[in-house]
């Protein structure tokens, strides 16, 4: 926590799916849910539950003072739609190599 900024990560059990242009790109029932001050909750999905062959590595990177440097991937027709932290900072190690998507839906049972 820095200046009132907090990040918490919890193990979720929601059924989370990412569909892009009619194709399921990722689907899991074991997302990590990251809560960060000032941002909506984000689902970080385990790499085994992501169709990584559909992801195109991007040259884009961003730096978060609380999480570290993010790497990005693109989906067909959508640049930088996916990101991950290959070397996250110590306080968020749990999200290492998990993928986060801008378009994620929670599937109701």
Task: State the total domains in the chain.
Answer: 1
Q: Which domain holds residue 67?
A: 7-107
47 is a domain residue: yes
CATH of the domain at 31: 2.170.150.40
Closest CA to 55 of 80, 74, 36: 74
23 is a domain residue: yes
Mean pLDDT for back-to-back runs of 10 residues, the chain (109 residues): 82 94 94 95 96 95 96 92 96 96 80
71 is a domain residue: yes
49 is a domain residue: yes
> What's the whole-model pTM score?
0.91
2 is a domain residue: no
Specify the long-range contacts of residues 91-96, CB closer than 8 Å, at least 24 apart.
91/7, 91/66, 92/7, 92/9, 92/34, 92/66, 92/67, 92/68, 94/9, 94/32, 95/9, 95/32, 95/34, 95/44, 95/67
């Amino acid at each position: 926590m820095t200046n009132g900024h907090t990040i918490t990560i919890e193990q979720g059990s929601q059924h989370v799916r990412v569909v892009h242009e009619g194709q399921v790109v990722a689907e899991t029932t074991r997302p990590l849910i990251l809560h960060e001050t000032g941002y909506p909750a984000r689902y970080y999905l385990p790499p085994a539950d992501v169709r990584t062959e559909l992801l195109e590595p991007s040259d884009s990177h961003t730096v978060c003072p609380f999480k570290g440097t993010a790497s990005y991937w693109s989906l067909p027709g959508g640049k930088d739609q996916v990101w991950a932290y290959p070397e996250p900072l110590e306080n968020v190690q749990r999200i290492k190599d998990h993928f986060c998507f801008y378009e994620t839906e929670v599937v109701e049972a």
